[in-house]
Amino acid sequence: DAGVIQSPRHEVTEMGQEVTLRCKPISGHDYLFWYRQTMMRGLELLIYFNNNVPIDDSGMPEDRFSAKMPNASFSTLKIQPSEPRDSAVYFCASTFIRDRVADTQYFGPGTRLTVL
Amino acid sequence: KQEVTQIPAALSVPEGENLVLNCSFTDSAIYNLQWFRQDPGKGLTSLLLIQSSQREQTSGRLNASLDKSSGRSTLYIAASQPGDSATYLCAVRPGQAGTALIFGKGTTLSVSS
């Protein structure tokens, strides 16, 4: 398997623009997570899905952030409008749970977002 | 609210030294604990996962221990090598809060040759 795939790897945009980050989880995984990493706050969960349904979005910072998972193989994280404080590395991760035992979370390479 | 702390934030050692990285968490009700490695500009790679019923896990030169009652975990690296230089992150899966991980801020390790 190719692992978790994220695109783009790098994004530079200007304040006020819409940004869309994309993620393809590992085939067969039924959980997908979006995390954000900054120097100040470390890695923080934004939202996660189970079987394409959002379960916990309490980490989404503001209404400017939205996430969708239209099918088991694709998810998007959208920021509209973007602000300089959104600059961070955004990671997508996936995993599966069998018999109530959680497996390792597998992370994508991340998207480095810079908002000017 | 679960909080994860890693000490030290940075560590520099000469090649060949054995070392210990520390992780503490405030709520002992966890499903599991994972140690990850992150190289600069890269994603996270899982090193070891310890289920709440386990005390330790080993993989090669790495050994991770878990003491739930005291809210502590350690990652032991034997005979360190320059290739071990990276940031090591500890993460817990909370007992009642679903499957999302809560991360520490990491320990950045530098091993000199």
Give residue A99's pLDDT. Answer: 57
Q: Alpha-carbon distance B18 to B20, whole Å? A: 7
Q: Residue with structure tokens 């600059």? A: A87
Q: Alpha-carbon distance B76 to B65, whole Å? A: 8
Find the residue in B nearest to A97 (Cα): B99
Nearest to A110 among B34, B43, B51 (CB): B43
Check B93 against A102: CB less than 8 A apart: yes
Around A66, how many Cα atoms within 13 Å sit in the side-chain half-sphere? 8
Confidence of residue B1 (pLDDT cuts 50, 70, 90): confident
Are A92 and A33 in contact by the 8 Å Cβ rule? The answer is yes
Give residue A105's pLDDT. Answer: 85
Give residue B31's pLDDT. Answer: 87
Nearest to B51 among A31, A101, A110 (CB): A101
- Asked if pLDDT for residue A10 goes beyond 90, the answer is yes
The alpha carbon of residue B93 is apart from the nearest alpha carbon of chain A, in Å, by 9
Over the stretch B50-59, which tens digit does the pLDDT of each residue have?
988 999 999 9
- Across the range A36-52, mean pLDDT stands at 93
- Asked if pLDDT for residue A89 goes beyond 90, the answer is yes
- Asked if pLDDT for residue B19 goes beyond 80, the answer is yes
B106 contacts on A by Cβ (under 8 Å): 42
Q: Collect all residues with Cβ–Cβ distance below 8 Å to A32 and sequence separation of at least 6.
A: A23, A25, A48, A49, A69, A75, A92, A93, A94
Are B92 and B82 in contact by the 8 Å Cβ rule? The answer is no
Confidence of residue A96 (pLDDT cuts 50, 70, 90): confident
Q: Collect all residues with Cβ–Cβ distance below 8 Å to B53 and sequence separation of at least 6.
A: none
Number of Cβ pairs < 8 A linking chain A and chain B: 51
Are B62 and B86 in contact by the 8 Å Cβ rule? The answer is no
Confidence of residue B96 (pLDDT cuts 50, 70, 90): low
Around B84, how many Cα atoms within 13 Å sit in the side-chain half-sphere? 28
Give residue A101's pLDDT. Answer: 63
Give residue B100's pLDDT. Answer: 80
Check B46 against A91: CB less than 8 A apart: no
Check B43 against A108: CB less than 8 A apart: yes
- Asked if pLDDT for residue B73 goes beyond 80, the answer is yes
Check B102 against A104: CB less than 8 A apart: no
DSSP string covering A4-67: -EEE-SEEEE-TT--EEEEEEPPTT--EEEEEEEETTTEEEEEEEEETTEEEE-TT--STTEEE
- Across the range B99-109, mean pLDDT stands at 91
Give residue B83's pLDDT. Answer: 96
Q: Alpha-carbon distance B95 to B104, whole Å? A: 17
Nearest to A45 among B46, B100, B105 (CB): B100
